[in-house]
Amino acid sequence: MKNYKHTILIVSLVALTSACSSLGVQPWERDLLAKDEMALNSSPIDASLDDHIYFSKESSSGGRGFAGGGCGCN
Amino acid sequence: MQLINNKKPSKNKVNITQLLTVATCTLLGTSAQAEEEKSWEFDTALMYYGETDRVQATELILAGTKTFEDEKTLNLKLTVDALTGASANGAVAQPNVQTFTRPSGKESFNTPANETPLDDTFRDTRLQFNAQWTQPFAEDYRISGGLHLSKEYDYLSVGLNANIARDFNQKNTTLSAGVAYSNDTITPEGDIPTAFAEMVPPGNELNRSGTEDDKTTVDLLLGVTQVIDRQTIMQFNYSYSQVDGYLTDPFKVVSLVNSNGMSEKQLYENRPDKRVKNSIFWQTKHHFLSNSIIDFSYRYFWDDWEITSHTVDARYRIPLGDSYIEPHIRYYTQDAAEFYQPFQLSSNPLPSYMSADYRLGKMDGITVGVKYGMPMKNNTELSFRLEFFQQSSKSTGVEEPGVLNEVDLYPSINAVVAQVSYSF
């Protein structure tokens, strides 16, 4: 069982290292990433409405952006 | 005449340069607009949020982005929201009718037997303004600065932020850092209750400690964005937030109960005047070759009030011709703050801090929704979003004496979110 875990760990590390060396794309390979819908925050208005809802109903905030609130809803 | 003659060739030269730029950009498949000034682009949204028997909110957002030469952008946003309805005041449900004093101290209201006490004086309108300027700065750097101003009937928040980002590795890796500061002032109806003061019937002298109080928040945000391959991008953020000042909710009470679970009186809550919050956030977006996109994120949050939480969020955008449909699921789970307690036994000494605010308690939340977006004439988009949110409070394992066994101390909240957005 221990050997099995070690094998997984080594395979994962090798996979991770080899993946890191080839991370990223050439400028001409950005066709899909350049789409508006592939932006990390592609719907900022939805995100801001959601942040307001969950900030006022839960004890956590922030993560994607700043944690500060700016409203008395919490 | 001479001047005019001299000017003409130069004007022609500019036109040829512009033509060449357009031609080159067309050949390279990039936009000739990139370096030029664009007209304003607007995002607008109207959202309705409604809880069963509790809070109802309507929020309107108008946001405009103007792109100037050299990728400089100005973003202005106006948010207006109106809240009405009832909110739990922290007191426990009882097998008999209970009477509570409103925050003003001038009126009272009754809560029927076996029902969670809800204060329906909750009514507010908020106006918020945000402005953000972003521009490139030296090679591979971007800087951004912004401000916000938010005003409610009893609340004022003013804040500033500054950010810097640097691209590495042919823009495949971006490191970013940001700092934000805000100062909030609360001037509650009926003033600031003294910690642990007893809620008294209307007409009695209120035990208050001033008309307003404030808090300051300092936020730090560090991020790494990494392009993984042609179809995948990832982001890791760490955020730190330190809040100092008045963090108590002036409208919340804790019930003092006897050994039979019967409520004897209500004491105004008290929270520490400092809170340090941390979170790590991981987001991945993957573009499938079928043109659908998955957006997955996970956040782990912890603070020095001993609250910890996990948030998992997944959106899956499926193209339907020119339109798209995007199912969404979000799961949230939170552990209680160390000073959270649903009630206080009158036989026990009072702790330094206590709050029965369910939002500081143990809870789970689940949101399931769908968004439908469709392109309209002239590159505009109309979208609709409908979501259902359920929040379930849980016991922290506190033993419930006598009658508290027969009432619901941990009610669930059900809410619906409906939104219409238009971008033009």
A28-48: pLDDT as tens digits:
999 999 999 999 999 999 999
Give me B333's structure tokens. Answer: 């789970």
Interface residue A15 vs chain B (CB under 8 A): no
| Residue showing tokens 């805000």 | B182
Q: What is the pLDDT of residue B123?
A: 76
Angle CA B216–B221–B222, to nearest 5 = 155
Taking residue B228's Cβ as centre, other Cβ atoms within 10 Å add up to: 19
CB distance B234 to B283 below 8 Å: yes
- The CA distance from A63 to the nearest CA of chain B, in Å, is 5
Which residue in A27, A66, A72 is closest to B239 by CB distance?
A66
B227 to chain A, minimum CA–CA distance in Å?
Answer: 5
End-to-end Cα, chain B, rounded Å: 46
CA-based angle B305:A60:B388, to the nearest 5? 140
CATH of the domain at B93: 2.40.160.40
Closest CA to B311 of A12, A70, A50, A74: A50
Residues B351 and B271 in one domain: yes
Alpha carbon distance B395, A30 (integer Å): 50
Residues B372 and B270 in one domain: yes
Q: Which residues of B touch A51 (CB under 8 A)?
A: none
Same domain, B23 and B135: no
* C-beta of residue B43 within 8 angstroms of C-beta of residue B79: no
Measured between CB atoms, does A8 come within 8 Å of chain B?
A: no
Number of domains in chain B: 2
- B94 in the same domain as B22: no
pLDDT at residue B117, rounded to an integer: 96
Residues B10 and B60 in one domain: no
Structure tokens at B424: 């033009």
Distance (Å, whole) CA B1 – CA B166: 51
Residues B93, B238: one domain? Answer: yes
By Cβ distance, the residue of A26, A52, A67 closest to B239 is A67
Average pLDDT, chain B: 91
Q: Match 């050994």 to its residue by tokens.
A: B259
Q: CB distance A70–B159 less than 8 Å?
A: yes
Mean pLDDT over residues B101-125, rounded? 91
pLDDT, residue A67, reads: 81
CA proximity to B93, closest of B408, B358, B400? B408
Q: Say how many CA atoms lie within 13 Å of B66 toward its Cβ.
A: 9
| pLDDT score of B30 more than 50 | no
Same domain, B55 and B198: yes
Q: In terms of C-beta density within 10 A (0-12 exposed, 13-18 middle, 19 or more buried), how is residue A61 classed?
A: buried
Same domain (yes/no): B394, B381: yes
What token pair was written down for B182? 């805000």
Reduce the DSSP state of residue A19 to 3 states and report it: helix
Determine the Cα–Cα distance for residues A52 and B150; give it in Å rounded to an integer.
13
Helix (H) or strand (E) holding A49: helix A44-57
What's the rounded mean pLDDT across residues B196-215? 93
Domain co-membership, B15 together with B57? no
CB atoms within 10 A of CB B18: 12
Q: What's the pLDDT score for residue A6?
A: 65
Tokens matching residue B35:
């370096």
What single letter denotes the amino acid at residue B410? Answer: Y
Choose among B190, B185, B194, B183: nearest CA to B270: B194
Contact list in A for residue B225 (CB cut-off 8 A) is 40
State how far the Cα of B98 lies from the Cα of B109, in Å rounded to an integer: 8
Tell me the ipTM for this assembly.
Answer: 0.88
pLDDT at residue number B26: 43
Distance between B144 CA and the closest CA of chain A, angstroms: 14
* Digit-coded pLDDT (tens) for B266-297: 999 999 999 999 999 999 999 999 999 999 99
On whether the CB atoms of residues B271 and B246 are closer than 8 A, the answer is: no
Contact A69 B157 (CB under 8 A): yes
Residue type, B276: V
**8 Å CB contact between B180 and B218:** yes
HSE of B215, CA atoms in CB hemisphere, 13 A: 26
- Closest chain B residue to the Cα of A40, Cα to Cα: B285
CA distance linking residue B58 with residue B419, whole number of Å: 10
pLDDT number for residue B244:
97
**CA distance linking residue B261 with residue B114, whole number of Å:** 13
B184 and chain A: CB distance < 8 Å anywhere? yes
Q: B10 and B48: one domain?
A: no
Strand pairing report for B253-257 and B344-345: parallel
Q: B221 vs A65: CB contact, 8 Å cut-off?
A: yes
Residue B192, domain extent: 36-423
Quickly state the pLDDT bin for B144 (edges 50, 70, 90): very high
CA within 13 Å, CB half, B201: 3
Q: Is the Cβ–Cβ distance between B73 and B134 less than 8 Å?
A: yes
Give dist(CA A66, CA B182) in Å, integer. 11
pLDDT at position B28, please?
Answer: 42
B370 plus B390 within the same structural domain = yes
- Work out the pLDDT band at A68, boundaries 50, 70, 90: confident
Whether residues B46 and B10 share a domain: the answer is: no
Pair type for strands B293-303 and B87-88: unpaired
Rounded Cα distance between A60 and B309, Å, is 7
* 8 A C-beta contact, residue B98 and residue B414: no
